[in-house]
Amino acid sequence: MEKIVILTGAGISAESGLSTFRDEGGLWAQHRIEDVATPEGFARNPALVQGFYNARRVQAAGVHPNAAHKALARLQQDWPGEVMIVTQNVDSLHEAGGARGVIHMHGTLAGALCSACGHRWTAPPEMAVGEPCPACAQPTARPDVVWFGEMPYCMDEIYDHLASASLFAAIGTSGQVYPAAAFVHEAREAGARTVEINLEPTLGASGFDERVVGKATQTVPRWVDQLLARRS
Ligand code: NAD
Ligand code: ZN
């Protein structure tokens, strides 16, 4: 049965009210990546970094899944083959929209990680600097998100999924951050048909077989309807 692998990025959550990385006025616009999204930034100023992720966690707790998240969950339910969702997003809107088995390759705001022993637990709404790890008691708690310069999670699993995909879709991602930006090439090599669904064609758009341009809440439900109609 045909397998679909879907990569999502900040654009799918934009209409839920979470700013993308390039949005003016968003949380990202007020901070430099080096300060808030690198291990070096955290070592230099842990309070700034925890504060940044605390603010994102509060923001993410107050938003709801949109029609695009829900449409992907519907695809998972109604498609006769496997539908694997891999997201670069650290929010939980895919799950809130009903999706199952989502791979969070850049981690999640809902998680805390001990940088000393690797223990993981549910993050409190506000993480404090020097908060002790429940497993080893060291003051080394950090948000369980992947920073620039760190290895994204579950890469072997993701490459296995790409190698067996019949259809690959990239939704709401600018395709500027590797390794996710190269997934389309992996999928193509494996023989998958590829589609980019984005507000505007990205720099890598020509690497896809098909492009759908528009807002995710409109394009994704329509795309899902078309896929499901073709099957029945
Ligand atoms: P991105 O912000 O780089 O790209 C978002 C994409 O979504 C854009 O191409 C935009 O045109 C599109 N988009 C916006 N609104 C949309 C809508 N309503 N419907 C459909 N598409 C819409 O986000 P990304 O691609 O997820 O970034 C990948 C990863 O890179 C992130 O997980 C993040 O960790 C990291 N990143 C961080 C920064 C930063 O400034 N810190 C910058 C780039 C990437
Ligand atoms: Zn620990």
Burial of 208 (0-12, 13-18, 19+ CB in 10 A): buried
Q: Which domain holds residue 29?
A: 19-62+110-145
Query: In terms of domains, do 166 and 53 share one?
Result: no
| Confidence at residue 132, expressed as pLDDT on a 0 to 100 scale | 94
Same domain, 73 and 139: no
CA of 134 to the centre of ligand 1 (A): 34
Euclidean distance between CA atoms 11 and 8, whole angstroms: 8
Residues of the chain with pLDDT under 50: none
Structure tokens at 39: 């291990």
Q: 145, 162, 194: which is the final residue of a domain?
A: 145
Of 120, 145, 170, at which residue does a domain stop?
145
Q: What is the pLDDT at residue 30?
A: 87
Say if residue 194 is exposed, middle or buried (CB neighbours under 10 Å; 0-12, 13-18, 19+): buried
| Catalytic hit among 104, 106, 119, 161 | 106
pTM: 0.96
| Catalytic residue list contains 104 | no
Per residue in 129-174, pLDDT (tens digit) is: 988 999 999 999 999 999 999 999 999 999 999 999 999 999 999 9
Residues 158 and 196 in one domain: yes
Same domain for 138 and 223, yes or no, is no
pLDDT tens digits along 77-86: 999 999 999 9
pLDDT of residue 232: 64
Distance 172 CA to ligand 1 centre (A): 7
How many independent structural domains does the chain possess? 2
CATH number of the CATH domain containing 115: 3.30.1600.10
CATH of the domain at 211: 3.40.50.1220
